[in-house]
Amino acid sequence: MFGQGQKKGRFKLSLTELHGLCEANYARLLRLFPEYENSNHRELKVGTAKVRLEVIERCRYTTIFQLHQQHAESRWLGKLRIEVRAYHDARMLEVGMFQSHKSVAARYQYPNDKMFQQDEKYQQNRFLADWLEHCLQNGYVAAAVSRSTPGV
């Protein structure tokens, strides 16, 4: 709460922080899905959740991925869906769609109709960073069971 005589400061987005976050997320995604150029998807197990990383569009300088999480223990995060765009020339990864929210602006007036935070874009990319890091620390690729016939 702002007292009398105090003015609410104008929100300023730090592009340096946002760019650093997007660069780190690019590196995290490539560690989780290093073969994305030759494969359209990768599945991981993270605790009780199944995570699927999927290429949905490839262009010369960009790749769009959908990241899905299903069957997590937490009801609010049980079905996570994030669409991200990788800018390969800049080595940055940016959230394009988070759950059902498409095209998030860099900054919002607050309050607003959708009750987005002033730094909603940064928060979504920060969440992505935490989630990717969680996948890196706790995820594993389920080993495929190979069946062979003895003596063949």
Domain spans, the chain: 15-140
Structure tokens at 97: 């769609």
Say what the pTM is: 0.77
Distance CA 62, CA 1 (A): 43
Model confidence pLDDT, tens digit, residues 128-141: 999 999 999 999 98
Q: What is the mean pLDDT of residues 23-47?
A: 96
Q: Closest Cα to residue 82, out of 28, 118, 37, 39?
A: 28
